[in-house]
C-alpha cells in the first residue's frame, strides 16, 4: 500500500471496494480510480494505440492520454474512460483495453518491434500490391487492430436529460479564479452559473498546499462554495464540463449526474445536456502541464509533476518510493518540496535552466543545467542524467515527475475562430480575442500565481456584474502564500536513448514529426493529419504545444511562425446519448394521433406512419388471411356499399379577408376567385420553378372566407408558402391565413350508400343532387357543434367529407358507424384509399415527387392562361415542356394476372435491359378488385401518345419482368358517373 497514514482530502471513514482487471482492491470515498490504483501500487494501466507500449498514469486530470479503461460491464460498459476522472464508488469494475491476452503480456506489442517500419504515414506508402489483397487481407488486419475499447453492442440502458440555462454570468471552472469571480458577481446580485467538472470545488487548491488568509486553500474554497450555495441567484453545477461555445453566447455543457454511481437511481438521468445562454462568461478553466520531450518519456513511472503533487497532497497516495523530478518550471520545485513535506524521498531534481533556484531544497540532490537522457526498467527503475558538465550518471528512481511548464486551458475560447497567439512570457499560447462576452481569468489567461488568479477572478466577476447592472462592493483580496511561476520554453532533449513521445496515446514521437517535416507536411494541419498527432481521445491536450515547438524547430522557424490550431467542440468527449436526450428509439419523434385514433384501435386497425401521424392502414377482420384480402374487402365496400375513412391528417388552412380569392388565384394554377360560395374546387399549386408543389380542394365558405386542404405530407410546407406569399410577395393583400389541421377532425363517407348513411345521421338536411351536388359544401350544426359537409370524392364514388371540431371527432365517427350499421358501413384505411385513388388515376405522393409538372400529371389544361400565378413562367421552360418528358399513364399486365411492382422501370419489349432503353418508371401499384388484377400508374416518356402499346415493367432488383399494356390512368368510371350519382 502506498497510502500515506494521514492527510489528503479522502474520506477514510468510507472505505470502498473496486475491481480492476479482475483483481479486488480497496480505496476511499474521494478517490478517483487513478488515485486508488496508485494507492494499491498498480503502475501499469494501459497500452498505447499503435505500438501497444505499456503505459502508466501520466496525469491526474481530464487530459489523461494513457489510463483509458472500460468502466462497468454489460450494456453499461463505457470504453475509453479516463481513470483520472472516474470517481471511485463501491463495487466499481474496470478493465484495461487494447491488449491481448493481458495487460502485462500483450502479444500485439510485436507492433513495437516493427516500429522502424510503422513510422508516420507508413500505410500510405504500402499495402498497394497486389491490389486485391488490400480489401481481403491488409485492411481487415488493420481494422481488427483498430480502436481502443469496445462498445457493448447493447442499447444504452440509461436515459439522458436536457436543460436550458439563462444567466448574467457563466463562470467555467471553480478553481481560485472561478470561485473569486462567482463570489464577486454573486454578491453583487448577478444571476451566476458556476460550472466545475469535478464534484469538489477548488481546482488546484485541492492539490497544492497553498494558504489563503492563513488557512489551507481548500478550506477557503469550501467557505466560498458554502456562501455561493446560499445565494439565491447563483447556481452551482458540479461534475459539469462546458464543452463548446456556439453563436450568440450559447454554451453547451454536460453534467454527469449519475456517473459517480454504479448506476443511476430510479428515474435519474445518467447525464444532462445543458444549453446555456450567458450574457457574460468568465473562462477560468486553469492550465494543463506539459510533458518534457526526452527518450523513454513514456515509460510507466514517468508522470506529470502536477499529477504526483495531486496524488500525494489530495489523495495521500504516493506513486513511488524514490521520486526524481525533471523540471523546466518553478512549479516542479514546489512539487519536490511537497514530496519532502510528505516524507517521500526525492532522488534528484534536474532543471536544465542554469541557475534556477526558486526555493531552497536542503536535502534534494540538484542537477542545475542537467537533463534526463534515458529511462530504464519495464516499469521505471532508474534514469540517466546528464549533469551540466556533461557527465552522465544513473540514478535509481521509480517515478520521474516531469514539469515542462503550463499551457492555459482556453480551448473552448477558440471555438468561434479566434486564433491563440504565442506568448514569450509564459512560453505558451494565450487567447487575446475571446468570443463576444467572454473574459479569461487566472491560469486560463496565462497568469499562474495564486494572487494573480484570485485577483483576476474578483476583477472580472465585478466587471461582468456591473455590465449587467449589478453594482456591489468587491470582496476583499485575500492574502495568499508565495507562488513562483518561472518557466523555460518547451524542452526537448535531443539524441537521447529511446523514443521521445509527443502524443502518448497515438504513439507520435519526435522523429515522426521530423519525418513529417522532411516529407513536406509542414503546416500544423498537415502535420496533425499525417502523424495523427492530437487526434486521440485526449485531443492533444498534452501534446499540441510540444508538437508545435518541434515543428518549428525542425522547419527552422520560430514557434510564432509555425501557425496555430483552432479548437472545435467538444472540449472533452461527450456521450452521443447525451446529445440525443430523450429523442431515441420509439421517442425519436413525436407521434400525432387523430381524434378518432382510439376508435380505430377498437376496430382492430393496423397503423402506418404518415410523417408523424399514425393513420389506420387497414382494419382486418377475423378469418381474413392477409392484408390483400382485407384491403380488397374494404375497397369493394366503398365501390358497392359505404365506407368510412379518417382523413383528418390532411393539412387544413383557413384563408379570410377581402383578397383571399386573389391570393388563391396566385397560389394555384386554376382560379378560385370565381368559385361560388358553398362550392369546392380541386386545385394544383406549383413551386416558383414550375414543378408541382401540392394539390387539394379549396372550399369557399363565404365571400371572404376559404378553407383549403393540402396533402398530409405538405401541410407545413404549404402553410409556410402561403405565409411567404402574403407577408413578403404581396403584403398589400387583405388576407389572413391560419392552420386548422389539428382543430378539425374530418371523415370521408364514400360509396353508393353514403347519402343514405348521411341522411340517417342528418335527417333534416337535403342531400339530393339538386340541393347538394358534387363539389357542394355547407356549414351546419350537429349535436350543437359546428359541422362542415363537403361533397368531395377521392375514391370516385358518391362521397362526402364531414368535419367537426377535433374534440367531437371521436363522437362523430362513432355516430357515423352507428348510423351506418344497417348499411354495413365499413371502415377503410390508407391502403384501400390508395387502391381507390389508383383506380381513379389520382396523383398522390409517389407522383407529386418534386420532379413532375402539372402537364406531366395531366393537369396541363387547368393551367390558366389568363392570370399570373406562382410557377407559371418557369413552367414554360423548354426542359419542362419537352414532349419527350415522362407523363402519367396507367398500366395493366398483359396477362392480367402478373403482379406489378412500384419502382420498376419501363422498357420497350425486345431490347436489352440497359439504360439507353429506359423510358420511365412505375410510380404506384395496387390490386384492383374492380379490375380483378394488378394495375399501376407510371410516368412514361410520351406516354399519352402510346395508349394500347405494350412495354415491359422491369424490376432487376427483385427479378421481375412483366409485359404491360399502356392505358388511361383512370381505370374506373372514366366518365365520372358514379361520383355524381
The distance of closest approach from Cβ of residue 653 to other proteins in the complex, given in angstroms and rounded to an integer, is: 12
The distance of closest approach from Cβ of residue 243 to other proteins in the complex, given in angstroms and rounded to an integer, is: 9
The distance of closest approach from Cβ of residue 636 to other proteins in the complex, given in angstroms and rounded to an integer, is: 21
The distance of closest approach from Cβ of residue 732 to other proteins in the complex, given in angstroms and rounded to an integer, is: 9
Which set of grid coordinates corresponds to residue 14?
A: 468510507
Going 423 to 428 to 434 to 438, the CA torsion angle's sign is: negative
Helix (H, G, I), strand (E, B) or coil at 370: coil
> Which of residues 276 and 361 has its CB atom nearest to other proteins in the complex?
276
Distance, CA of 969 to CA of 796 (rounded, Å):
13
Residues 352 and 491 sit within 8 Å (Cβ to Cβ):
yes
Distance, CA of 460 to CA of 854 (rounded, Å):
64
The distance of closest approach from Cβ of residue 826 to other proteins in the complex, given in angstroms and rounded to an integer, is: 22
Burial readout 50-84 (b: 16 or more C-beta within 10 A, e: otherwise): bbbbbbbbbbbbbbbbbbbbbbbeeebbbbbbbbb
The distance of closest approach from Cβ of residue 11 to other proteins in the complex, given in angstroms and rounded to an integer, is: 29
Distance, CA of 645 to CA of 634 (rounded, Å):
10
Distance, CA of 631 to CA of 624 (rounded, Å):
10
The distance of closest approach from Cβ of residue 811 to other proteins in the complex, given in angstroms and rounded to an integer, is: 30
Distance, CA of 969 to CA of 923 (rounded, Å):
12
Calculated CA dihedral for residues 456, 206, 405, 307, nearest 10 degrees:
-160
Query: For residue 250, which of 172, 166, 174 has the smallest C-alpha distance?
Result: 166
> Which of residues 6 and 914 has its CB atom nearest to other proteins in the complex?
914
> Which of residues 624 and 918 has its CB atom nearest to other proteins in the complex?
918
Which set of grid coordinates corresponds to residue 971?
A: 381505370
Which set of grid coordinates corresponds to residue 110?
A: 510485436
| Residue 886, phi then psi, degrees to nearest 5 | -65, 135
> Which of residues 201 and 954 has its CB atom nearest to other proteins in the complex?
954
> Which of residues 31 and 158 has its CB atom nearest to other proteins in the complex?
158
> Which of residues 515 and 750 has its CB atom nearest to other proteins in the complex?
515
The distance of closest approach from Cβ of residue 676 to other proteins in the complex, given in angstroms and rounded to an integer, is: 26
Distance, CA of 285 to CA of 724 (rounded, Å):
46
> Which of residues 612 and 768 has its CB atom nearest to other proteins in the complex?
612
> Which of residues 436 and 773 has its CB atom nearest to other proteins in the complex?
436
The distance of closest approach from Cβ of residue 612 to other proteins in the complex, given in angstroms and rounded to an integer, is: 9
> Which of residues 539 and 746 has its CB atom nearest to other proteins in the complex?
539
Is residue 600 left, alpha or beta, with left meaning phi > 0 and alpha meaning psi from -120 to 50?
Answer: alpha
> Which of residues 374 and 537 has its CB atom nearest to other proteins in the complex?
537
> Which of residues 109 and 874 has its CB atom nearest to other proteins in the complex?
874
Number of CB atoms found within 10 A of residue 860's CB: 14
Which set of grid coordinates corresponds to residue 289?
A: 502541464
Helix (H, G, I), strand (E, B) or coil at 599: helix
**At CA 401, angle to CA 289 and CA 310, rounded to 5?**
65
Query: For residue 335, which of 367, 300, 359, 370 has the smallest C-alpha distance?
Result: 359
The distance of closest approach from Cβ of residue 751 to other proteins in the complex, given in angstroms and rounded to an integer, is: 25
Residues 81 and 68 sit within 8 Å (Cβ to Cβ):
yes
The distance of closest approach from Cβ of residue 499 to other proteins in the complex, given in angstroms and rounded to an integer, is: 12
Helix (H, G, I), strand (E, B) or coil at 691: coil
> Which of residues 228 and 536 has its CB atom nearest to other proteins in the complex?
536
> Which of residues 532 and 710 has its CB atom nearest to other proteins in the complex?
532
Distance, CA of 735 to CA of 653 (rounded, Å):
12
| Residue 396, phi then psi, degrees to nearest 5 | -70, 130
Which set of grid coordinates corresponds to residue 915?
A: 439504360
Which set of grid coordinates corresponds to residue 478?
A: 485575500
The distance of closest approach from Cβ of residue 4 to other proteins in the complex, given in angstroms and rounded to an integer, is: 34
Residues 243 and 574 sit within 8 Å (Cβ to Cβ):
yes
Distance, CA of 89 to CA of 31 (rounded, Å):
9
> Which of residues 80 and 240 has its CB atom nearest to other proteins in the complex?
80
The distance of closest approach from Cβ of residue 28 to other proteins in the complex, given in angstroms and rounded to an integer, is: 27
Query: For residue 293, which of 553, 556, 46, 562 has the smallest C-alpha distance?
Result: 553
Residues 693 and 718 sit within 8 Å (Cβ to Cβ):
yes
The distance of closest approach from Cβ of residue 586 to other proteins in the complex, given in angstroms and rounded to an integer, is: 5
> Which of residues 396 and 874 has its CB atom nearest to other proteins in the complex?
874
The distance of closest approach from Cβ of residue 136 to other proteins in the complex, given in angstroms and rounded to an integer, is: 11
Residues 306 and 206 sit within 8 Å (Cβ to Cβ):
no
Amino acid at each position: 500500500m502506498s497510502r500515506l497514514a494521514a492527510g489528503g482530502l479522502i474520506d477514510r471513514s468510507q472505505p470502498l471496494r473496486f475491481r480492476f482487471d479482475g483483481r479486488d482492491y480497496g480505496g476511499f470515498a474521494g478517490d478517483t480510480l487513478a488515485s486508488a490504483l496508485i494507492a494499491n501500487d498498480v503502475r501499469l494501466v494501459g497500452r498505447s494505440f499503435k505500438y501497444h507500449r505499456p503505459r502508466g498514469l501520466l496525469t491526474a486530470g481530464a487530459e489523461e492520454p494513457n489510463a483509458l479503461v472500460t468502466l462497468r460491464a454489460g450494456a453499461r460498459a463505457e470504453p475509453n474512460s479516463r481513470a483520472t476522472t472516474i470517481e471511485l464508488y463501491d463495487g466499481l469494475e474496470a478493465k484495461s483495453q487494447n491488449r491481448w491476452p493481458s495487460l502485462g503480456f500483450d502479444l500485439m506489442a510485436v507492433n513495437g518491434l516493427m516500429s522502424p517500419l510503422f513510422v508516420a504515414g507508413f500505410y500510405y506508402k504500402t499495402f498497394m500490391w497486389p491490389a486485391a489483397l488490400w480489401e481481403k487481407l491488409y485492411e481487415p488486419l488493420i481494422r481488427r487492430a483498430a480502436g481502443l475499447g469496445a462498445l457493448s453492442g447493447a442499447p444504452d440502458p440509461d436515459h439522458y436529460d436536457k436543460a436550458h440555462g439563462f444567466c448574467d454570468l457563466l463562470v467555467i471552472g471553480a478553481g481560485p479564479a472561478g470561485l473569486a469571480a462567482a463570489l464577486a458577481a454573486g454578491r453583487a446580485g448577478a444571476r451566476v452559473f458556476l460550472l466545475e467538472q469535478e464534484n469538489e470545488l477548488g481546482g488546484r487548491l485541492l492539490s497544492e498546499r497553498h494558504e489563503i488568509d492563513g488557512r489551507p486553500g481548500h478550506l477557503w474554497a469550501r467557505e466560498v462554495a458554502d456562501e455561493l450555495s446560499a445565494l439565491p441567484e447563483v447556481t452551482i453545477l458540479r461534475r459539469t464540463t462546458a464543452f463548446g461555445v456556439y453563436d450568440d453566447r450559447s454554451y453547451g455543457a454536460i453534467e454527469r449526474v449519475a456517473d459517480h454511481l454504479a448506476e443511476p437511481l430510479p428515474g435519474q438521468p445518467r447525464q444532462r445536456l445543458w444549453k446555456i445562454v450567458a450574457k457574460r462568461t468568465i473562462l477560468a478553466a486553469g492550465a494543463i502541464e506539459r510533458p518534457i520531450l526526452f527518450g523513454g518519456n513514456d515509460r510507466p513511472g514517468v508522470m506529470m509533476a502536477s499529477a504526483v503533487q495531486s496524488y500525494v497532497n489530495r489523495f495521500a497516495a504516493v506513486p513511488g518510493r524514490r521520486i526524481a523530478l525533471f523540471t523546466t518550471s518553478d512549479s516542479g520545485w514546489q512539487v519536490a518540496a511537497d514530496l519532502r513535506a510528505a516524507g517521500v524521498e526525492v532522488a534528484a531534481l534536474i532543471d536544465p535552466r542554469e541557475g534556477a533556484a526558486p526555493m531552497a531544497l536542503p536535502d534534494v540532490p540538484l542537477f542545475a543545467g542537467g537533463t534526463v537522457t534515458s529511462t530504464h526498467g519495464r516499469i521505471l527503475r532508474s534514469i540517466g542524467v546528464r549533469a551540466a558538465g556533461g557527465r552522465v550518471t544513473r540514478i535509481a528512481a521509480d517515478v520521474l515527475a516531469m514539469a515542462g511548464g503550463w499551457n492555459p486551458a482556453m480551448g473552448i475560447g477558440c471555438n468561434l475562430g479566434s486564433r491563440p497567439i504565442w506568448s514569450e512570457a509564459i512560453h505558451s499560447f494565450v487567447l487575446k480575442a475571446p468570443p463576444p462576452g467572454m473574459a479569461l481569468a487566472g491560469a486560463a489567461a496565462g497568469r499562474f500565481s495564486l494572487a494573480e488568479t484570485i485577483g483576476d477572478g474578483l476583477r472580472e466577476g465585478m466587471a461582468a456584474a456591473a455590465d449587467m447592472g449589478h453594482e456591489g462592493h468587491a470582496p476583499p483580496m485575500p492574502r495568499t502564500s508565495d507562488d513562483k511561476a518561472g518557466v523555460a520554453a518547451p524542452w526537448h532533449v535531443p539524441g537521447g536513448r529511446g523514443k521521445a513521445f509527443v502524443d502518448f496515446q497515438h504513439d507520435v514521437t519526435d522523429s515522426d514529426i521530423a519525418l513529417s517535416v522532411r516529407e513536406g507536411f509542414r503546416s500544423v494541419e498537415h502535420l496533425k493529419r499525417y502523424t495523427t498527432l492530437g487526434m486521440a481521445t485526449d485531443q492533444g491536450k498534452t501534446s499540441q504545444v510540444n508538437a508545435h515547438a518541434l515543428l518549428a524547430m525542425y522547419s527552422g522557424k520560430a514557434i510564432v511562425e509555425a501557425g496555430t490550431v483552432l479548437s472545435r467542440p467538444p472540449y472533452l468527449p461527450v456521450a452521443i446519448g447525451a446529445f440525443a436526450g430523450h429523442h431515441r428509439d420509439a421517442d425519436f419523434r413525436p407521434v400525432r394521433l387523430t381524434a378518432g385514433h382510439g376508435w380505430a384501435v377498437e376496430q382492430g386497425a393496423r397503423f402506418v406512419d404518415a410523417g408523424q401521424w399514425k393513420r389506420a392502414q387497414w382494419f382486418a377482420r377475423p378469418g381474413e388471411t392477409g392484408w390483400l384480402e382485407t384491403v380488397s374487402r374494404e375497397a369493394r365496400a366503398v365501390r358497392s356499399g359505404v365506407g368510412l375513412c379518417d382523413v383528418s391528417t390532411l393539412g387544413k388552412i383557413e384563408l379570410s379577408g377581402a383578397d383571399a380569392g386573389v391570393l388563391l388565384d396566385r397560389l394555384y394554377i386554376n382560379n378560385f376567385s370565381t368559385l361560388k360560395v358553398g362550392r369546392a374546387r380541386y386545385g394544383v399549386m406549383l413551386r416558383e420553378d414550375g414543378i408541382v408543389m401540392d394539390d387539394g380542394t379549396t372550399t369557399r365558405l363565404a365571400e371572404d372566407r376559404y378553407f383549403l386542404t393540402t396533402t398530409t405530407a405538405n401541410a407545413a410546407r404549404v402553410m409556410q408558402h402561403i405565409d411567404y406569399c402574403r407577408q413578403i410577395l404581396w403584403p398589400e393583400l387583405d388576407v389572413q391565413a391560419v392552420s386548422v389541421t389539428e382543430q378539425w377532425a374530418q371523415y370521408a363517407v364514400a360509396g353508393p350508400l353514403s347519402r343514405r348513411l348521411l341522411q340517417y345521421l342528418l335527417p333534416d338536411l337535403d342531400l339530393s343532387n339538386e340541393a347538394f351536388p358534387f363539389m357542394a359544401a355547407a356549414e351546419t350544426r350537429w349535436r350543437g357543434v359546428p359541422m362542415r359537409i363537403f361533397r368531395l370524392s377521392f375514391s370516385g364514388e358518391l362521397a362526402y367529407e364531414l368535419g367537426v371540431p377535433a374534440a367531437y371527432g371521436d363522437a362523430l365517427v362513432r355516430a357515423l358507424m352507428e348510423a351506418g350499421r344497417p348499411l354495413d358501413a365499413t371502415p377503410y384505411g390508407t391502403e384501400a384509399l390508395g387502391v381507390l385513388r389508383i383506380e381513379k388515376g389520382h396523383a398522390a405522393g409517389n407522383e407529386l415527387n418534386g420532379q413532375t409538372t402539372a402537364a406531366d400529371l395531366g393537369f396541363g389544361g387547368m393551367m390558366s392562361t389568363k392570370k399570373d400565378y406562382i410557377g407559371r413562367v418557369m413552367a414554360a421552360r423548354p426542359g419542362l415542356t419537352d414532349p419527350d418528358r415522362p407523363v402519367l399513364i396507367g398500366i395493366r399486365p398483359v396477362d392480367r394476372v402478373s403482379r406489378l411492382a412500384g419502382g420498376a422501370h419501363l422498357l420497350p419489349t425486345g431490347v436489352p435491359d440497359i439504360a439507353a432503353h429506359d423510358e420511365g418508371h412505375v410510380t404506384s401499384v395496387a390490386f384492383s378488385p374492380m379490375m380483378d388484377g394488378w394495375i399501376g400508374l407510371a410516368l412514361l416518356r410520351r406516354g399519352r401518345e402510346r395508349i394500347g402499346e405494350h412495354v415491359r415493367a422491369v424490376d432487376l432488383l427483385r427479378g421481375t419482368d412483366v409485359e404491360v399494356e399502356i392505358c388511361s390512368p383512370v381505370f374506373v368510371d372514366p366518365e365520372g358517373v358514379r361520383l355524381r350519382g
